[in-house]
Amino acid sequence: MNIIWLGHSGFRIEIAGQVLLVDPWMTGNPVFPAERRDEAIGGATHILLTHAHGDHSTDVLPVARELGIPVVGQYDVMSHWAETEGVETVGFNKGGTVKLGDVTVTMVNAVHSSGFGSPDGPTYGGTECGFMIAAEGRTIYVSGDTDVMADMGVLADLHAPDIGILAAGGHFTMDMRRAAYAAKKFFDFKTVIPCHYRTFPILEQSAEALAAALPGVDVIEPEVMEAIAL
Query: How do residues 175-222 score in pLDDT, each as one tens digit?
Result: 999 999 999 999 999 999 999 999 999 999 999 999 999 999 999 999
Residue 62 belongs to a domain: yes
Of 121, 115, 106, 127, nearest in space to 50 by CA: 127
pLDDT by residue (tens digit) across 141-187? 999 999 999 999 999 999 999 999 999 999 999 999 999 999 999 99
Residue 229 belongs to a domain: no
Q: How many domains does the chain have?
A: 1
Residue 210 belongs to a domain: yes
Residue 25 belongs to a domain: yes
- Mean pLDDT of all residues in the chain? 98
What is the span of the domain harbouring residue 160?
Answer: 2-223
Q: Are strands 10-15 and 2-7 parallel, antiparallel or unpaired?
A: antiparallel
Predicted TM-score of the model (pTM): 0.98
Residue 66: in which H helix or E strand, if any?
Answer: helix 60-67
Helix axes 176-186, 151-159, angle to 10 degrees: 50
Residue 154: in which H helix or E strand, if any?
Answer: helix 151-159
Of 8, 98, 18, nearest in space to 56 by CA: 8
Strand order in 218-219's β-sheet?
97-100, 103-109, 129-135, 138-142, 163-167, 191-195, 218-219
